């Protein structure tokens, strides 16, 4: 079985989550593509095995013959537009995951929390040849899987039965926020398609270990939570983290994508103070204006020191120091992993100083 996952945000988490659930339920799987080894270097599997492949828009742009048994599209928002010549080119690249059909039996799992996903799900369903399972973290979907206030519901049987409440995702600390609940809905839809039992899937979701740099909890110091979300390399990804917490000391900046902070702006009431870094420091300062207090810090180390000092001094219940840059890392770091590692190491040094 070939399972492919794409989307602007959430690909790696969903790929890892699907791999975790399938493997811990006893299936023989290999994970690859954009997460892990290149797809073509993976070891051969038995006929009952499954390849779980994360595919970026770049990879899909170069994919002409691949046929996937289960294709997952999580969401679409503006990203990599310079590479694809604009939004239409970017959407076309993502749609390639559904391009090649087999002789029936293929399943398309499509997130419908954005307008592009709604349209695409309708288009794929109208074409025939694919069973379309819609997923959402906002609204019930007949024939799909959805999460409302953290509760995961299975309505894959559609009109033939009532939705089944599967589990409460809000209790899973490694899957915070509505965007992760949609990722879990995608995983659940794939696992059910692979004929795993709802109770078994719920049990494995509850013990998902999480991925580094994706809303990764580093530690808590004197009641303040420190979260590494370095993988948030665009404003849409950062908005998902900002929507998961209150009283945020937000570290943002780097090499900005086109379009400004758009998706973040409605969530600024959750930000107590921002600390701006990198090439985007000036443009972000101009865009934030007088909406929230902010400091221009230049680099990550200075920003984290300032955020740590202020958060510890203010002693507000539920405070979070959050690295969610809304930018690529390439102005100051070789990649987002190096940026996140530096954040984690500096936080751990604060913890080692004995301020517990």
Token reading at 255: 């090499």
DSSP 97: G
Annotated active-site residue 234? The verdict is no
Token reading at 63: 């994919």
Measure the CA–CA gap between 124 and 145, rounded to whole angstroms. Answer: 17
- Annotated catalytic residue, options 20, 75, 80, 231: 80
- Annotated catalytic residue, options 34, 95, 100, 335: 34
| 240 touches 177 (CB < 8 A) | yes
With 0-12 / 13-18 / 19 or more C-beta atoms within 10 angstroms meaning exposed / middle / buried, residue 65 is exposed
- Annotated catalytic residue, options 11, 84, 213, 257: 11
DSSP 10-27: SHHHHHHHHHHHHHHTT-
Q: Which helix (H) or strand (E) holds 85?
A: none
CA 46 to chain CA mean position, Å: 30
Annotated active-site residue 80? The verdict is yes
Measure the CA–CA gap between 46 and 141, rounded to whole angstroms. Answer: 35
Q: Between the CA atoms of 47, 59, 192 and 41, what dihedral angle is there, to the nearest 10 degrees?
A: 30
Measure the CA–CA gap between 187 and 200, rounded to whole angstroms. Answer: 13
Active site residues: 11, 34, 80
């Amino acid at each position: 079985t070939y399972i492919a996952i794409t989307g602007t945000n959430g690909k790696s988490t969903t790929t890892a989550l699907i791999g975790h659930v399938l493997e811990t339920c006893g299936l023989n799987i290999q994970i690859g593509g954009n997460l892990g080894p290149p797809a073509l270097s993976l070891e051969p599997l038995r006929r009952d095995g499954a390849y779980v492949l994360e595919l970026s828009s770049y990879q899909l742009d170069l994919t002409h013959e691949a046929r996937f048994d289960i294709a997952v599209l999580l969401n679409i928002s503006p990203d990599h537009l310079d590479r694809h010549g604009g939004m239409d080119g970017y959407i076309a690249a993502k749609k390639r995951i559904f391009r090649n059909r087999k002789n029936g039996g293929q399943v398309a799992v499509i997130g419908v929390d954005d307008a592009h996903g709604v349209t695409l799900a309708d288009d794929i369903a109208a074409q025939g040849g694919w069973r379309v399972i819609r997923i959402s973290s906002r609204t019930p979907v007949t024939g799909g899987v959805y999460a409302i206030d953290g509760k995961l519901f299975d309505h894959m049987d559609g009109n033939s039965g009532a939705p089944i409440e599967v589990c409460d995702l809000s209790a899973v600390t490694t899957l915070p926020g509505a965007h992760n609940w949609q990722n879990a809905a995608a995983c659940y839809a794939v696992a059910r398609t692979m004929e795993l039992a709802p109770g078994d899937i719920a049990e494995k979701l509850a013990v998902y270990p999480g991925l580094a740099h994706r809303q990764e909890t580093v530690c808590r110091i004197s009641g303040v939570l420190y979260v590494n979300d370095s993988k948030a390399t665009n404003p849409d990804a950062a908005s998902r983290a900002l929507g998961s917490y209150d009283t945020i000391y937000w570290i943002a900046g780097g090499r900005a994508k086109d379009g400004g902070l758009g998706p973040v702006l409605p969530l600024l009431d959750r930000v107590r103070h921002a600390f701006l870094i990198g090439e985007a420091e000036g443009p972000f300062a101009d865009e934030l204006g007088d909406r929230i207090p902010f400091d221009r810090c230049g680099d990550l180390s200075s920003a984290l020191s300032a955020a740590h000092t202020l958060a510890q001094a203010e002693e507000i219940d539920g405070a979070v120091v959050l690295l969610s840059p809304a930018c690529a890392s390439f102005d100051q770091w070789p990649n987002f992993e190096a940026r996140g590692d530096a954040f984690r190491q500096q936080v751990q040094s604060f913890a080692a100083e004995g301020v517990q």
